[in-house]
Amino acid sequence: MTVATRPEPGPAREYHFPQFVRDRLENGLNVIVATVSKLPIISVVAVIDATALADEKGKEGTAELTAKALREGTASRNGTELALDLEKLGTSIEAGADWDSTAVSMTVLKNHLSEAFQILAEVITAPAFGEEDVERLKAERLAERMQILDEPRGLADESFSRFVYADRARFAEPMSGSTKSVSAIRRDDVEAFYRKNFLPQTMTLIMAGDITAEEGIELATKAFGEWRGERTISPINADTPARAARAVEIVAKPDAAQSEIRIGHVGVPRSHPDYFRIVVMNAVLGGLFSSRINLNLREAHGYTYGANSYFDWRRQSGPFVISTAVQSEVTAEAISETLKEIERMREEEISEDELTLATSYLEGVFPIRYETTAAIASALANLATFGLPEDYYDTYRENIAAVTTRHVLNAARKYVKPEELQIVVVGNPELIEEPLKALAFGPTSMREAEEA
């Protein structure tokens, strides 16, 4: 009663990433406008080269705290007025800092754009950084720290970074700071961070949606044209590995209902010439639902609800991570199966079928990723943050399609390194310590699940 023959696709309709116009104001501020006029809505993102790598040693978390403090008041409005003035226009400003940028963003209906945009400019160019507000944000961050440490997933991610990167490397510390480092930040540190890093030359302003290039550039010039500042910072080295040999760490959580497992090592920077080959290789290994690791751990063994792998792309080398959560009793088995999949990936070429699954998926979902103005603006923000070529999105699908099974094998051999793998497990030591030691994967240490 159902139709037995699987239908074949018709000819594909062409798709192009939205066109965009770039301009540079006299003060050095970059502007990008992408006109997408389907609905009366615009997304605005300001990306600023004010990163967690610019945090002073011992005061990690300053970049994030500064981003959050932008929304707490300006020369002419206090924090509550600021929130209310934006929200009655149906919008609000999100602000946050990561390893490679600070992003300040909002999505707003066209009829409210000019008024909301004025407030966004005020937030970026004239923040007040009130002492009380900074102290409250610190207290909120400290409360968040307690919640992260309660939460096995967050704890595993954080423990893994600490274990993989050298103590002195910035990537070892939480991006938004630890309890100790956040406690050490003072209001003046926030202001100093802002003065040093928030400058027209370090910012790209992106607008995507129902707006023309002329309108966008005019708005930017009016609101940011008079803004001035001088750049004076030097980048630091953030990605030194902790060690060159395998090692295992157990983070003891006696009442854990599951083991949170992270396996990996220091990866490669975003600008790497083999980027597309690594992306396709990772899709086959652990990036897709139908990836080798997920099909093995979830669908063949039922060990887990899901397992995946990723390269965390940053300007410096972020980690390569395989991440899963399994029933405590099968922790060692799940790790063994994962290691087998890594070996298999490096031993022989994947089949043509596996290759095309990954490449046709990545090519096909490309237009699905850019349905909203916020997604388009965020893609353009990546161009600015990572210094990608102007035609990056126009050539993305060709670059994916050009990857071969031989490229994938070489990428697995070069960038997945079994001898350097680090394993972190957050779980019940009574159930996992012996089996993990019996694996004899590498020197195994154990620590309590509290802040290092």
Partner 1 sequence: MQIPIDTFSLENGLVVTLSQDNTAPIVAVNLWYHVGSANERAGRTGFAHLFEHMLFQGSEHVGANEHFELVQRAGGTLNGSTWLERTNYFETVPSNQLALALWLEADRMGALLPAMTQKKLDTQRDVVKNERRWSVDNQPYGTWWEKLPELAFPEWHPFHHSLIGSMEDLSEASLEDVEQFFRTYYTPDNAVLSIAGDFDPAEARKLVEKFFGSIPRGKGKPPLERIEVPSKFDTTLRSVVEDDVSLPRLYLAFRTPVFGSDGYYAASVTAAVLGMRRGSRLYRALVRERQIAADATAFTFDLAKGSDLLIVDVTARPETSAEQLENEVERQIDKLVKDGVTAEEVGRAVALIQTDLISALQSASERADRISMFATLLGDPALVNKQAEKYEAVTADRVNSFAREYLGTDNRAKLLYVPRKEEDASNAAELAVVAAS
End-to-end alpha carbon distance in the chain: 62
- Tell whether residue 331 is a contact of partner 1 (CB under 8 A): no
State which of positions 362-421 bind partner 1 (CB under 8 A).
363-368, 370-374
Question: Residue 253 or residue 277: which is nearer to partner 1 going by CB?
Answer: 253
Backbone angle region of 327, left / alpha / beta, with phi > 0 → left and psi within -120 to 50 → alpha: beta
- Of the candidate spans 162-170, 302-310, 339-347, 402-410, the one that interacts with partner 1 by CB under 8 A turns out to be 302-310
Provide, rounded to whole angstroms, the least separation between the CB of residue 84 and partner 1: 5
Does 298 interact with partner 1 (rule: CB under 8 A)?
yes
Contact 267, 312 (CB under 8 A): yes
Name the residue nearer to partner 1 (CB basis): 109 or 236.
Answer: 109
Token pair for 132: 């009380």
Q: Out of 40, 387, 418, 443, which residue is the one contacting partner 1 (CB under 8 A)?
A: 40
Shortest gap between Cβ of 228 and partner 1 (angstroms)?
30
| Minimum distance from residue 374 beta carbon to partner 1 (Å) | 7
Give least dist CB 139 to partner 1, A: 6
- Tell me the residue type at 219: L
CA-wise closest residue to 152 among 64, 262, 299, 60:
262
Q: Determine if 118 is a binding residue for partner 1 (CB under 8 A).
A: no
| Segment lying near partner 1 (by CB under 8 A), choices 134-142, 157-165, 337-345, 439-447 | 134-142
Give min distance, CB of 244 to partner 1, in A: 33
- Degrees, nearest 5: CA angle 259-314-92: 90
Encoded one letter per residue, x for contact with partner 1 by CB under 8 A and - for no contact, window 142-181 reads: xxx-xx-xxxxx----------------------------
Q: Hunting for tokens 């070892």 — which residue is that?
A: 172
- Residue 43 one-letter amino acid: S
If binding is defined by CB under 8 A, does position 3 make contact with partner 1? yes
C-beta of 401 vs 439, nearer to partner 1: 401
Quick check: 451 binds partner 1 (CB under 8 A)?
no
User: Of the two residues 30 and 378, which places its CB atom closer to partner 1 in the complex?
Assistant: 378
Coil, helix or strand at residue 103:
strand
What tokens appear for 367 in the block? 């237009």
Residue count, binding to partner 1 (CB under 8 A): 82
Q: Which residues contact residue 255 at a Cβ distance below 8 angstroms, ignoring those fewer than 6 apart?
A: 428
In 348-417, where does DSSP find H-type helix?
Answer: 352-364, 366-369, 373-386, 392-401, 405-415
Minimum distance, C-beta of residue 300 to partner 1, in the bound complex (Å): 8
**CB nearer to partner 1: pick between 364 and 387:** 364
Token pair of 86, please? 């934006």
Rounded Cα–Cα distance for residues 190 and 70 (Å): 10
Nearer to partner 1, 86 or 248 (CB): 86
Closest CB to partner 1 among residues 7, 273? 7
CB 215 within 8 A of CB 293: no
3-class DSSP state for residue 148? Answer: helix
Helical residues (DSSP H) of 230-372, grouped into ranges:
275-282, 292-294, 331-347, 352-364, 366-369
Of 122-130, 138-146, 273-281, 385-393, the window that binds partner 1 (rule: CB under 8 A) is: 138-146
Helix (H, G, I), strand (E, B) or coil at 447: strand
Distances (CA, A) of 92 to 80, 95, 128, 192, 430: 12, 10, 18, 26, 48
Does position 111 interact with partner 1 (CB under 8 A)? The reply is no
Restricted to residues 9-38, the positions that interact with partner 1 (CB under 8 A) are: 9-15, 38
> Could you give the string, one character per residue 191-210, with x where binding to partner 1 holds by CB under 8 A and - elsewhere?
--------------------
